[in-house]
Amino acid sequence: MPKSRSYHPDYRSAEVSQIVATIDRGQSVSIIGPPSVGKSNLLLFLDQRRLSGTDPNSPWFRHAPLSETEGRIVAIYIDPNALLPALPSARGKIAAQAWPGFELLTHRTAVTRPLFPRVHGVAADNLPPDLAVDIVNMQERFESAHPDVTAMDDALHAHMALRHLENIIDAALAARSIQNTPVRIAYFFDEFERMLNALPDFFFVALRSIRDRFKGQVMFVTVTRNSLPYLIPDYRMAEMEPFVELFHDAAIYLKPFNDDDAWRMIEDMEGKTSTMNDYAVGLLIRATGGFAGLLRAGFYHVEKLAPIQSGDYQHTVDLAAIRLAAEPNIQEECKTLLRSLNAEEIKTLYGAAVRRPDLPGDTMRELSQKSLLTHDTVSTGLQVAPPVLAAYIRNHPTPPSARPVPRPVTLPEEDRI
């Protein structure tokens, strides 16, 4: 991940503290948010390569008090675009279809330096002989796990990919445990819906088995545009339930930026240009609702908002939203946001825009959690949010088609599930 961007220690403080504290308690976490809300920046902020867990400003130091006794949390980021194709020699078999997922987790674990089994804080020549032998054995297990899982000349190794993943996790955790310097592992699955579309149910149920074996030591974090029950169709849910129930108590919806984070983002962008009118920036934040992508797109038009005045501030915000919605880059950002929703969500959002009655309650709740519907300050109903998206929908009353979730680009067409 890029390391150039700096973040205030209190960036997204409410959500970050909740995410890290939940992992610290040994639970898995589902992070949900539509495009434009800032999921990528959240992952950059949590990237441990950017800020050490021992730094007092690090969220892994500030919000994980159990690290002192239970062990530091080592975060491993999993990118679905790095999935390899299923094994061609056994296409159609569940183990071969699940192999890319196990291979990717094994590889990412193997290249995470803090997990390599080594002596910590004690000179090697002072170790008791049996402990020294144990550490050497664990190093061999750790080093051989990924070469074994990719040994294409041995079909059994590939078939046993889950066992190789368990082996490398066990070696890493056990080596630290016997030296009283424990660690815990949190796998972060970015764009998790793409993995859902690329891997068989067996892979995810197997992850549940890993969690059960290493309970409190291995956690999973999924980052998606929709909640997991909303993403997984009924015909798959029966098989997937053991995995999905890991997240029942920890589904966290990312909200748009609060005022402090929004101002900091604008100030960061201003540093590359010049200082802007505070009144116009305030209108930009209100009109975009603090959605990061809309803020970024609107930044280039902020001075056009300065002349907008009216006796009522909310009316002024609505006028600013209309002005912004006329800009092509804002329109593209709105299209991207809308097309990330599924067909039912798009239909419901457009229905809410015209006050259509009897809209599906579950979908309205999902949209409300995503801050795309909010309570009208005048009536008791719901209205589209943020204001610039509402203005866009009024100007484009024909709903767009939902965009299918793309498969990871590394998977050839014939091997995609």
Q: Average pLDDT of 52-62?
A: 82
Helices (H) and strands (E) in the chain, counts: 20, 7
pLDDT for residue 416: 45
Of 56 and 52, the structure prediction assigns the larger pLDDT to: 56
pLDDT score of 2 = 43
pLDDT band at 125 (very low <50, low <70, confident <90, very high): low
Residue-wise DSSP of 127-178: S-HHHHHHHHHHHHHHHHHHHHHT-TT-HHHHHTHHHHHHHHHHHHHHHHHT
pLDDT at residue 126, rounded to an integer: 63
Q: What is the pLDDT of residue 284?
A: 97
- pLDDT of 417 > 50? The answer is no
What is the number of other CB atoms lying within 10 angstroms of the CB of residue 232?
21
Q: Is the pLDDT of residue 412 over 50?
A: yes
- What stretch(es) of the chain map to CATH 3.40.50.300? 13-253
**Would you call 71 helix, strand, or coil by DSSP?**
coil
Residues 14-47 have pLDDT tens digits of 999 999 999 999 999 999 998 889 898 999 999 9
Strands laid side by side in the 251-253 sheet: 72-78, 183-189, 218-224, 29-32, 251-253
Average pLDDT of the residues in 79-105: 83
Phi, psi of 284 (to 5 degrees): -60, -45
Query: What's the pLDDT score for residue 377?
Result: 64
pTM of the predicted protein model: 0.90
Confidence of residue 329 (pLDDT cuts 50, 70, 90): very high
- The closest alpha carbon to 201, from 105, 301, 97, 108, belongs to 97
Are the C-beta atoms of residues 135 and 175 closer than 8 Å to each other?
A: yes
Which class in CATH covers the domain with range 13-253? Answer: alpha beta
